[in-house]
Amino acid sequence: MPEPPTPSRRGRLARLGTAVAVLLAVVGYVAVQYVYGGKPSPRCTVVSANGDGASYEFTAEQAENAATVAAVGTSRGMPERAVTIALATALQESGLRNIRFGDRDSLGLFQQRPTQGWGDERQIMDPAYSAARFYAHLAEVPGYSRLPLTVAAQRVQRSGYPQAYAKHEPDAVLLAAALTGRAPATFSCEGRPGTAPGGPAKVRAALERDFGRAVRPEAAGGRTVTVPVPATAAAGGEAPRRGWELAHWAVAQSSALRVERVSYAGREWRVGGSGGWHEVAAGRAAGPGAADRVRIVTAQ
């Protein structure tokens, strides 16, 4: 039977173990820097339009998913409160990430379960599909818009921790105000489009995926996608709201779709700019008909 290690030997082994752990950590860090070029994930920010200084910062991936959730909701005629409930739910369930794991067979943004009738794995992993299913169930909750957010979300999700939704409500309120277009020029991203295929065709396909037939881009050449803003109920402010919804959606999708510039209503967002939206000279970037069109310029 071997003799137990002496205190000095145990000390040497501990130091050796620490050295190996540090070495592995360094190797891992170098590998990550090599793969990702040392660049942090592009960030997005939404700020309050109420002048109270409230803001929320998150990743490009989260922004893409949030914009899809909001677009699916408004295209189904759901009110801003419904979008707020959906966004708070997705923040709690998945951190607004389209994950392939969870409790038992839970999947996706809302952690929906194939065995509970939410759809198959392929369907649930489609953010537009999973958002549509969430809204369909929410619409069946009587008076959901007047219920506390935790209660409305729980009626759909049946979570083991229903009060957890409450902590995400302030951020969801900011996101919903921007992504439904009620709060103009409050949503921006760094952009930095990656190497994934993008371009006008991808933008048009993504618009159809998230908004359905409610949005119809105009036929155009080159790198620009022009989206008309319906003039219905313009006196009530619905046209500008729709325009800002589309403009913020395009910014949220900028990394995934390689969007370089978005302009609407005399303001412009540019990838890699100093951040936020800036006023532009009439006709310079927005072009003719800027008041009723959103222009999305891609990198290719």
Tens-place pLDDT, residues 206-246: 999 999 988 999 876 789 999 999 765 433 456 789 999 99
Helix-helix angle 200-211:238-252, to 10 degrees: 120
Q: Is 153 found in the same domain as 55?
A: yes
Alpha-carbon distance 26 to 152, whole Å?
46
Q: How many of the other CB atoms lie within 10 Å of CB of 22?
A: 10
CB 174 within 8 A of CB 54: yes
Rounded average pLDDT over 194-208? 84
Q: Is 53 found in the same domain as 100?
A: yes
Alpha-carbon distance 253 to 230, whole Å?
21
- Per the structure block, which two tokens stand in for 172? 């969801």
Q: Is 149 found in the same domain as 262?
A: no
Q: What's the pLDDT band for 7 if we cut at 50, 70, 90? A: low
pLDDT tens figures, 107-143? 999 999 999 999 999 999 999 999 999 999 999 999 9
**168 vs 280, which has greater pLDDT?**
168
Q: Is 192 found in the same domain as 175?
A: no
Residues 6+ apart with CB under 8 A from 35: none
The alpha carbon torsion through 29, 33, 36, 39 (nearest 10 deg) reads 110
Q: How many of the other CB atoms lie within 10 Å of CB of 53?
A: 7
Q: Pick from 180, 257, 240: which is nearest to 211 by CA?
A: 180
Q: Is 78 found in the same domain as 63?
A: yes
Question: Final residue of a domain: which of 152, 180, 208?
Answer: 180
Return the H-helix or E-strand segment holding 279: strand 278-279
pLDDT tens figures, 140-150? 999 999 999 99
Output DSSP code: residue 287: -
Question: Final residue of a domain: which of 180, 199, 227?
Answer: 180
Q: What whole-number percentage of the chain has pLDDT above 90?
A: 66
Average pLDDT, whole number, for the chain? Answer: 84
Domain range for residue 286? Answer: 187-298
